[in-house]
Amino acid sequence: MTIEIASTAKSFGGWHKQVQHESKTLQCTMRFAVYMPPKAVSGEPVPVLYWLSGLTCTDENFMQKAGAHRMAAELGIAIVAPDTSPRGDDVPDDPDGAYDFGHGAGFYVNATQSPWSRHYRMYDYVVHELPEIVEAEFPVTSTRAISGHSMGGHGALMIALRNPDRFTSVSAFAPIVNPIDVPWGQKAFSNYLGDDAEAWKAYDSCVLMAKAEQFVPALVDQGDADGFLNEQLQPETLRAVAEERSYPLELRMQEGYDHSYYFISSFIEDHLRFHSRYLGA
């Protein structure tokens, strides 16, 4: 695998880099961001937190707005943030230019329907191809955690639930927890996966948690002033499943917080410390 370092910036004694590569999984050029803490810069391998962003975002949003580098540097955790979907002139987009489908809205699934199935395979990219590249090219271990926001929170929870042997812990900010029953998820899944709603369940965190055999410790933060709370997010659905299964989920409602990166930056230190306990950082 050939990678290209597109940009580099020093941050809290470590390095933030933007990396480009040709993805075999997505059949396009992809970019991801990586933060290497000082421990990794000195050559000591560190564990990795994978961050999945939400609708309309890229690899840049979290790295620039979340304020996570200081604590990642202190704890000795690398952070890897992929783009949210495949992009490029050859990659189909929403024909109406909508923000909640197509470019920037891959929903972390493996599409099965034309014309999306050739490129929109973000599940395989995040679970397999991206970690293989990161672990081959950077001083990191194979110990991984995963986190995300909104659509990326859906991705993080779903991927951890499907791969409890690959991730030590999972966290999310304002995740779409039950996509098969909300408008954002229904639009994406019907296009990417087709009309058979049974196929959608493989990517729904509430469905997956209800039948989980292995548990991954989970932390979820949700702002009670989030404009998407009632229609799209519905965290109480996930809480109910977790209580029924005695799943190790801590779900915190945060008074007055909305869906923005102001919310994420307010609690990202908690999430990094949470993951550090399980990563052994």
pLDDT 10s digits, 226-247: 999 999 999 999 999 999 999 9
Angstrom distance (rounded) from CA 171 to CA 158: 11
* Cβ 149 vs Cβ 173: under 8 Å: yes
For residue range 96-146, list pLDDT tens digits in order: 999 999 999 999 999 999 999 999 999 999 999 999 999 999 999 999 999
Looking at residue 1, its pLDDT comes to 67
Q: Which of 226, 271, 275, 276 is catalytic?
A: 226
* Cβ-Cβ contacts under 8 Å for 264 (sequence gap 6 or more): 62, 65, 66, 149, 173
Q: What is the 3-state secondary structure (H, E, C) of 5-42?
A: EEEEEEECCEEEEEEEEEECCCCEEEEEEEEECHHHHC
Please give the DSSP secondary-structure letter assigned to residue 255: T
Q: Which of 259, 271, 275, 276 is catalytic?
A: 259
* Cβ 82 vs Cβ 126: under 8 Å: yes
150 flagged as catalytic:
yes
Looking at residue 140, its pLDDT comes to 98
271 flagged as catalytic:
no
Picking from 1, 19, 18, the residue whose alpha carbon sits closest to that of residue 9 is: 18
Q: Which of 147, 150, 169, 205 is catalytic?
A: 150
Element (H, E) at 171: strand 170-173
89 flagged as catalytic:
no
* Cβ 146 vs Cβ 53: under 8 Å: no
Q: What are phi and psi of 71, to 5 degrees?
A: -75, -35
CA 124, distance to chain mean position in Å, is 13
Rounded to 10 degrees, the C-alpha dihedral 198/203/209/215 comes to 140
Helices (H) and strands (E) in the chain, counts: 11, 9
Q: Two tokens at 271?
A: 């999430």
Residue numbers in the chain where pLDDT is lower than 70: 1
* Cβ 198 vs Cβ 245: under 8 Å: no
Picking from 119, 58, 46, 116, the residue whose alpha carbon sits closest to that of residue 84 is: 58
Report DSSP letters for 219-245, one per residue: EEEEETT-TTIIIII-HHHHHHHHHHH
Sort 29 into a burial class: Cβ within 10 Å, 0-12 / 13-18 / 19+: middle
Looking at residue 276, its pLDDT comes to 98
Looking at residue 263, its pLDDT comes to 98
